[in-house]
Amino acid sequence: YWAGKKSLLGLPLHCMEKSKNQLLVYPKNQLSWIPQIKPWVFNENRIMWFKSYSMTFACLNWMKIFRLPWTRPYSTSQTTVDTSEVRTFLALAHKWWDEQGVYAPLHSMNDLRVPFIRDNLLKTVADHQPGKPLSGMKILDVGCGGGLLTEPLGRLGASVVGIDPVDENIKTAQHHKSFDPVLDKRIEYRTCSLEEIVKDTVETFDAVVASEVVEHVIDLETFIQCCFQVLKPEGSLFITTINKTQLSYALGIVFSEQIAGIVPKGTHTWEKFVSPEKLESILESNGLSVQTVVGMLYNPFSGYWHWSENTSLNYAAHALKSSLQEHPAPAEFALKGETEELQAEASTNTGVQEELKK
């Protein structure tokens, strides 16, 4: 059938079969022809190479877009961890517990974020034990670093799981908690990302804490989806992060990193900062109801933080996972509902009959 026909290169197929490169092969016992491309004929037959590979990638892209409806919206292969961020924090892993060092602002931030977490969690319980108000609660500290926030939450009585993708950070955290036998029992550390534990911890935690973390992830939407999955119904998500404003660039990066050296250079990327409005939109669209958003200001001269109505720099947010998740109704039921409404109005409005016929 193919005798005498010309290939993409303008040569008859039988000529191609006899050529030294064997670009096109016609199997005599099959009703098909198979393009075979060898690396060393790239320059000689560049057009053929691009056409074959473009068809391959087009097919792969089609498969990615039209995935099966029951495929999970995230997977362990879809990471939220930025490898460049991992390298940055790996170099600082031994400095977490130096209260006068590069992490001094995070030590000081505990004066705000620990009471913020504690007080909002206590609103969800009828009573609590004096001295251990968070007793009985299970908290996930995402991006725990050296355990600066994990340990205070453990001292309040909570069972805390701290996770971080940097193994050296986890080693530092484990070493520090080993000095306190009480914390050693209440706190568990794991070297992993959030998406890696989702499958085994669905609806496990009363609270998820992501303090100074979301400005370092590469896929915020997936990160929030994972937080939602591991939370129990009516569980709390706590986030502290940096707003995406011109002021945050000037003070958070130019001044803090490049001039004053409060934070090591390269710690933050302004493009990853997120505004309270965008964060709230992502939270709400993923089943989390925002309860509180409040500004935080850091005084580099005194070394202390304080609350503020201004959220143009740092801010804290608290969101709740609804106990009853609403799912959009299938199109057929929505159409049925609209038809019933029209029928109900038809008795008083003759014009509706025409709409129903349409």
**43-59: pLDDT as tens digits:** 444 444 434 444 444 44
Binding residues: 113, 143, 164, 211-212, 215-216
Q: Angle 143-263-253 (CA atoms, 0-180°, nearest 5)?
A: 100
Query: For residue 343, what pLDDT band results from cuts at 50, 70 and 90?
Result: low
- Looking only at the bridges linking them, the beta strands covering 159-164 and 187-191 are parallel
CB neighbour list of residue 289: distance below 8 Å, 6 or more residues apart: 283, 319, 320, 321, 322
State mean pLDDT over 306-332.
78
| Domain count across the chain | 1
Which has the higher per-residue pLDDT, 6 or 112?
Answer: 112
| pLDDT at position 276 | 97
Three-class secondary structure of residue 127 per DSSP: coil
The pLDDT of residue 173 is above 70: yes
Phi first, then psi: give them for residue 308, nearest 5 degrees: -155, 155
Q: Is residue 56 part of a domain?
A: no
| pLDDT at position 62 | 41
314: which strand partners? 242, 296
| pLDDT at position 127 | 80
Alpha carbons 81 and 95: distance in angstroms, whole number: 21
Q: Is residue 5 part of a domain?
A: no
* pLDDT, tens digit, 9 for 90 and up, residues 33-91: 444 444 444 444 444 443 444 444 444 344 333 333 333 443 444 778 877 777 877 88
| pLDDT at position 130 | 83
Q: Is residue 59 part of a domain?
A: no
| pLDDT at position 3 | 45
Among 289, 283, 81, CA closest to 195: 81
The pLDDT of residue 182 is above 70: yes
CATH number at residue 101: 3.40.50.150
| pLDDT at position 81 | 81
Buried b (16+ CB within 10 A) or exposed e, 185-214: ebbebeeebbbbbbeebeebbbbbbbbbbb
Ranges 103-117, 144-158, 319-333: which has the least confidence: 319-333
Which CA distances in Å does 284 have to 74, 189, 197, 308, 354?
Answer: 18, 30, 23, 24, 39
Q: Is residue 202 part of a domain?
A: yes
Q: Is residue 98 part of a domain?
A: yes
Q: Is residue 29 part of a domain?
A: no
Average pLDDT, the chain: 78
Range of the domain at 282: 83-125+132-321
pTM for this predicted structure: 0.69
Binding residues for S-adenosyl-L-methionine: 113, 143, 164, 211
Extended strands (E) in the chain: 24-25, 34-35, 138-142, 159-164, 187-191, 205-211, 231-242, 288-299, 304-308, 314-321
